[in-house]
Structure 1
C-alpha cells in the first residue's frame, strides 16, 4: 500500500499525522506507525481490499442505512431522527431503562427525517423500529453544577473542600492501610469545619492475588472497588473481627498491630494480612447462611460484577499454580470470559468466586457509608472520586471488555523536556470506534460506577476525552 492510502484511512479513523513537540517543532507520524496503529484499531491497510473494507466499516459507524448506535436528546423535547426512507410506515417502540414502554408508528414519508414525541424521563432508553435499534440518551438541559450545590447549601457564597490520599488516612485499628471507616471519620471532621467536598485518590479494583501492585492509577478495573480499603471491623462487628484475627494466630495479630504503627505503608504485608482476615470473615458469614443484602448486591451487579469476580478467582488460581497472571497468556479457553472453560472454572471454584463478590459488596458498603457520613454531616457535595485515565491491559476490565479495548497499545505521553523518549503508562484505552459501534455502553457503565457512591468525580487526564497519545 502507498503512503497516501494509509494517510487517507488514518484521517478517516481520526488519527493525527502531525503534532508539535515540547520545543515547538512540527513533527510527523510515519505512515508505518499509522499503519500499525490502524491495524490495532481493527482497520488494516495492508492491501487495497483491506483499505476498502476498513473505509466501509468506518462509514457504517455513522449509521450506514440505519441510525447511529446512540442518539442524544434533551428531556421534554421532540426527538428529531435522521432521514430513514426504508423505515417509513413501520411501528416503533421506546423501552425505558427503568421499565415500561411507549409505542407508535412512523409516517408514510420519512425521507426528510422523523420526529417522535418528547420523552419525559432522563436515561438511556432503547428505540426499535422494525429491524433497526438504537440507544436514546435523554439528558437533562444541563448537568448538576456548583451553583446547584450552593443553592442546596442555603445560598452560601463559596464552597471549599479538601483533597486526600485515602490510604494515608490512618487510625487506630486500620491494620496499616487507610480504609473507608477512616474516610467517613475524616469526612465528618472536615464537614464540621465547613468543608463542602472531599476529593479522594482512586479506589478502583486492584489485583488481590498480586499484593505488590498497589498504584491506584494502574487498576485492574475502573468498574469496581479496591478491597484493601475495607474495614474488617465493619463487616460483622469488632468482636467478630477480633475473633478472626486471633484465629489467624498470635504472630499475625502481633503483625497487624506492628503494621498499624509503621510511618509508611507496607503494602504487600498489610494487604496480605487484610485479605486473609477478610477471607475468614467471609467464611464466618457464609456459615450463617446467605445474606439478603449480599444477594441483592450481586443481582444488581449483574454480568459485569460476575465477570470481575471470575477474573479475580482465575488470576489467583493461575498465579498459585505457577502460571502467568497475564490473561493474554492463559489457555485459549480461559481468555474468553463467556466461554465454556470459564463457566466450568467458575462452577468448580464457586466459593472462591463468591469470596470476590463478597469483597466488592463490602467495599461498596464502606464507600457508600463514607459518602452518607459526609452528606449527613452537612457536605452539599460529599466525596469526589477519581477516575484513572486507564486500566491495566492485564486486568479484569480488559479481559471482560475485550471488544472495547485497543489491544496491543498503551496510553502514554509524547516526549518532553523531562522525558525525552516519551512515556508509556502500560494502561489500556477504550477504542473510540468500538465504543461508538456499541453505543458507548462501556463508558456509560464506567461513569455510573464512579458516581454510584459520590457527589462528584475528577477525571484524570481529562484531555483524554478529546485525544490520546498511544
Structure 2
C-alpha cells in the first residue's frame, strides 16, 4: 500500500495477529515493510490494498469482535477451578450447551460452566438472552504435559545414516529396532532420537531433507524393512525378490565398503518394486482386520494421502501443475479418478499401514529393552508446498506465503524454508483438527516427540512469495490453544515433548513452555553467560527441564568442534564470511575456553593456552589424558553434571565422525542428508561394528550412573 503506514493498517494487522514490527534484541525494534503486512493480511482473506479497503476491513473486524459471543476455540486447563475468560464474559442468563467428545450433552446457565467436563475437545453452543447464538470448540487439557520418567540419557541419530549389513543402502526401521534393543539392554540408554520420518515428495530426484516432507501425518515407506513384512514370506515370485536383494546388497556395499553416498531414490526404487510383489499376497483374516481398523482410524486423511501418491504417479509430484479438476481433493474429477485408481490408492494405503506397524514395533522393542522413553520422533516445522498435505489441506494453508526466519546474527539475509504456513484463523475455526490429528498419528509410535522450531506454536515468520526473507513479518498463533491441544494428545499417549527452542526466542516463550511441561533444548556450545562476559555457563546454571546435548545434526560433531575441522570444511567450501585465520583463531579460543572449564572441574586434564591446542584441523596436543577421545568424554561428563532431565549423545561422536549431517547454507556444495555414520578417517561404520566400537563403549560408560534397569 503506497504512502506511510496508517494507524488503521497497524490496528487491522494487530487484530489479525500480523506484526508491523518486531524486536530481534531488547534494545532494537525493526519495522516490517507495509508490503509484507498487506500480503499477510491477504493470505488471511483480508483486503488491505487501499486506504478505503483498510478502513472497511477494520470496521468489519471490530464489529465482528464486538458482536461475537465466543471465539471459535476456547481453552480450559483442567487444574483451574475457574471458567475460561471467554465463558465468564458471556452475558448474564446465557444458556450453554456442551456436547462432549463422547456425545454426552449437558446444559449450563451458571458458573462454573466447565465443572466436571472430561479432558477432550468438546462442542459448545451459547445462546444469549437476546437470541444471539455462537458455536465453539472447548479444549479441556491437562495442566502439564507428561514428564520424563526419571533422568536418562539416549542416542541421537539420523536413521538413514545408520546402515547395517541387512539394510538396503540406507538405515531402516529394522536397524532402528536393533539399535534400540542394544542401547536399552547393553548400554542402559533411556531413548533413541531420530530425524523426521515423514513421507517425502515422490519422484526422482526427491528432496533429501527430512525437514521438507510431503506429509507430516504419515511416515515414509522408504524406511520399511521389506523382509519384516509378514507377507514377504509368502510372495510367489521368489526369483524377482532374490534379484532385488542382490541389487540391494550392491547398493549397501557401495555405501559401506566403497565410500558412496546414500542414494535414497535408488533405495526406494528397489523397495517399491519389492513391495509391489509382497503386497500382491492376500492378507490373512487377522491382518485384514488390523488393516481395516487402521483405515477406519485415519479415515479421509489416509484416503487423501494415498490418492495424492496415486495421482503423482501419473501427473508428477507437484499438484499445482495437475489438471484443473484434480487440484481440488473434493472435486468430482478427483472422486472419479480416485475410483479409477483404486488399486494404486490401496497400494499406498497399505504402505502407510505397514510403516506405521514397523514404527510401533520399534517402540515396543525399545520399551521391552528397558527404555523408559523409547523412540523420540521429530516433527518438522512444515511441509512441502507441492506435497500431499498441502494438496489435501488447502483450506488451512496460507496461499502465497512461505515460512522462514528474519535476519539475525548468524544469517544477515534471513532464511526462507519454502514451507507454507498454517492459517491461524482456519485452525481456530476447526478446533485445531489438523494439528490434533497430526499429533495423534505421531504419538501412536512416539515415546517422546521433538518439535522442530517450537516457537512456531507462538508465531512464524511469513514471507510473501517472490520477496526476500528480509521482507517478511511475524504472524501470531493462539499459543494457548496450540499448547492445550499438544498437552491433551501427549497426555493421552503418555508421551514426553521436547521443544527445539534454539536461536532467537520471543520473551516469555521459554517460560510458558516450561510451565506447561515442554522440555527445551540446550546445546553445549551455545550455553554461555550472554548477559555477562560470554564465558561458558557452568553446569549448575543450566536449566533442568531440557534435553542437553553437545551437538545436533546441523552442527559439527564434537571432535570437529574440538579440533577445528569444521572451520577447515567451511573454508574448503568457500562459506567463511571472514578471513580463515580469524575463524581458526576464534575456533581455537572457543575450544580452549571450554576445555579450560572442563579441566577446572576435574573432568579432563587441564590444557595450556589456546595456542597449545595444535594446528586447527589436526589432533590436539597437551598433557597425557587430553587426547581427542578423552576430551569428547569430558564434554559428556560435563553434560552429566548439569541438572538436565535428558542428555543426548550424538551417535557419530562415538566413532569420531567429523562431518555434519547437514551444513546449513549449502545445497550442491555438500552432501547434506546423504552421509552414513563414519569413523574419523571417513570410513562408513555399519551398525554391527558401531555397537562393538571401543570408542563408543567408552563414551557411553560415562553414563553408567544413569543406566536403566
TM-score when scaled to structure 1? 0.86
Alignment of 1:161 with 2:154, yes or no, is yes
Taking a change above 3 Å as real, the CA distance of residues 289 and 116 of structure 1, as seen in their structure-2 partners, is closer
Residue 65 of structure 1 contacts residue 84 of structure 1 at CA under 8 Å; is this kept in 2?
no
**C-alpha distance in structure 1 between counterparts of 2:75 and 2:58, whole Å:** 25
Between Structure 1 and Structure 2, whose CA radius of gyration is higher? Answer: 2
Alignment of 1:121 with 2:118, yes or no, is yes
CA deviation digits over 1:395-440, x for unaligned, max 9? 1111111121111111112234554432211111112222223222
Local SS of the residue matching 1:175: coil
CA deviation digits over 1:91-139, x for unaligned, max 9? 62322x2x240322536xxxxxx53252352221222346532212111
**C-alpha distance in structure 2 between counterparts of 1:401 and 1:115, whole Å:** 36
**C-alpha distance in structure 1 between counterparts of 2:38 and 2:76, whole Å:** 36
1:39 pairs with one of 29, 39, 42 = 42
Residue 73 of structure 2 contacts residue 139 of structure 2 at CA under 8 Å; is this kept in 1?
yes
Taking a change above 3 Å as real, the CA distance of residues 159 and 126 of structure 1, as seen in their structure-2 partners, is same
1:231 pairs with one of 211, 216, 225 = 225
Taking a change above 3 Å as real, the CA distance of residues 314 and 116 of structure 1, as seen in their structure-2 partners, is same
Q: Which residue matches 2:70?
A: 67
- Between stretches 176-185 and 67-76, larger displacement belongs to 67-76
Local SS of the residue matching 1:284: coil
Taking a change above 3 Å as real, the CA distance of residues 411 and 287 of structure 1, as seen in their structure-2 partners, is same
- Between stretches 73-82 and 409-418, larger displacement belongs to 73-82
Alignment of 1:382 with 2:379, yes or no, is no
- Between stretches 73-82 and 121-130, larger displacement belongs to 73-82
**C-alpha distance in structure 1 between counterparts of 2:24 and 2:83, whole Å:** 44
Local SS of the residue matching 1:33: helix
**C-alpha distance in structure 1 between counterparts of 2:230 and 2:66, whole Å:** 52
Residue 211 of structure 1 contacts residue 271 of structure 1 at CA under 8 Å; is this kept in 2?
no
Residue 232 of structure 2 contacts residue 278 of structure 2 at CA under 8 Å; is this kept in 1?
no
Q: Which residue matches 1:194?
A: 188
Residue 11 of structure 2 contacts residue 58 of structure 2 at CA under 8 Å; is this kept in 1?
no
**C-alpha distance in structure 2 between counterparts of 1:357 and 1:125, whole Å:** 30
Q: Which residue matches 1:391?
A: 383
Q: Which residue matches 1:133?
A: 135
Alignment of 1:92 with 2:94, yes or no, is no
Local SS of the residue matching 2:225: coil
Q: Which residue matches 2:105?
A: 102
Q: Which residue matches 1:247?
A: 240
**C-alpha distance in structure 2 between counterparts of 1:57 and 1:171, whole Å:** 61
**C-alpha distance in structure 2 between counterparts of 1:392 and 1:66, whole Å:** 37
Residue 231 of structure 2 contacts residue 278 of structure 2 at CA under 8 Å; is this kept in 1?
no
- Between stretches 175-184 and 259-268, larger displacement belongs to 259-268
**C-alpha distance in structure 1 between counterparts of 2:145 and 2:409, whole Å:** 38
Q: Which residue matches 1:298?
A: 295
Taking a change above 3 Å as real, the CA distance of residues 272 and 61 of structure 1, as seen in their structure-2 partners, is farther
Taking a change above 3 Å as real, the CA distance of residues 23 and 198 of structure 1, as seen in their structure-2 partners, is same
Stretches of structure 1 that go unaligned for 5 or more consecutive residues are: 108-113, 151-157, 320-324
- Between stretches 326-335 and 398-407, larger displacement belongs to 326-335
Local SS of the residue matching 2:334: helix
Alignment of 1:279 with 2:276, yes or no, is yes
Q: Which residue matches 2:590?
A: none
Q: Which residue matches 1:450?
A: 442
Q: Which residue matches 2:612?
A: none
Q: Which residue matches 1:355?
A: 347
Q: Which residue matches 1:464?
A: 456
Displacement of 1:469: 1.8
- Between stretches 271-280 and 5-14, larger displacement belongs to 5-14
Q: Which residue matches 2:335?
A: 343
Local SS of the residue matching 1:160: strand
**C-alpha distance in structure 1 between counterparts of 2:325 and 2:283, whole Å:** 30
**C-alpha distance in structure 2 between counterparts of 1:353 and 1:63, whole Å:** 47
**C-alpha distance in structure 2 between counterparts of 1:29 and 1:141, whole Å:** 36
**C-alpha distance in structure 1 between counterparts of 2:339 and 2:231, whole Å:** 31
Q: Which residue matches 1:221?
A: 215
Taking a change above 3 Å as real, the CA distance of residues 32 and 132 of structure 1, as seen in their structure-2 partners, is closer
Local SS of the residue matching 1:135: strand
Taking a change above 3 Å as real, the CA distance of residues 417 and 163 of structure 1, as seen in their structure-2 partners, is same
Q: Which residue matches 1:155?
A: none
Residue 125 of structure 2 contacts residue 136 of structure 2 at CA under 8 Å; is this kept in 1?
yes
Q: Which residue matches 1:111?
A: none
**C-alpha distance in structure 1 between counterparts of 2:152 and 2:405, whole Å:** 34
Residue 214 of structure 2 contacts residue 383 of structure 2 at CA under 8 Å; is this kept in 1?
yes
Taking a change above 3 Å as real, the CA distance of residues 254 and 129 of structure 1, as seen in their structure-2 partners, is same
Taking a change above 3 Å as real, the CA distance of residues 63 and 178 of structure 1, as seen in their structure-2 partners, is farther
Alignment of 1:314 with 2:311, yes or no, is yes
Displacement of 1:451: 1.7
CA deviation digits over 1:185-243, x for unaligned, max 9? 111111112111111110111123445223110101111111111111121255346x6
**C-alpha distance in structure 1 between counterparts of 2:162 and 2:15, whole Å:** 48
Q: Which residue matches 1:154?
A: none
Taking a change above 3 Å as real, the CA distance of residues 55 and 279 of structure 1, as seen in their structure-2 partners, is farther
Residue 43 of structure 2 contacts residue 398 of structure 2 at CA under 8 Å; is this kept in 1?
yes
1:144 pairs with one of 117, 139, 146 = 146
Local SS of the residue matching 2:69: coil
Residue 68 of structure 2 contacts residue 134 of structure 2 at CA under 8 Å; is this kept in 1?
no
Local SS of the residue matching 2:267: helix
Q: Which residue matches 2:88?
A: 82
Taking a change above 3 Å as real, the CA distance of residues 177 and 240 of structure 1, as seen in their structure-2 partners, is farther
- What is the aligned residue count? 445
Taking a change above 3 Å as real, the CA distance of residues 330 and 62 of structure 1, as seen in their structure-2 partners, is farther
**C-alpha distance in structure 2 between counterparts of 1:75 and 1:121, whole Å:** 9
Taking a change above 3 Å as real, the CA distance of residues 228 and 118 of structure 1, as seen in their structure-2 partners, is same
Taking a change above 3 Å as real, the CA distance of residues 451 and 49 of structure 1, as seen in their structure-2 partners, is farther
Taking a change above 3 Å as real, the CA distance of residues 49 and 119 of structure 1, as seen in their structure-2 partners, is farther
TM-score when scaled to structure 2? 0.58
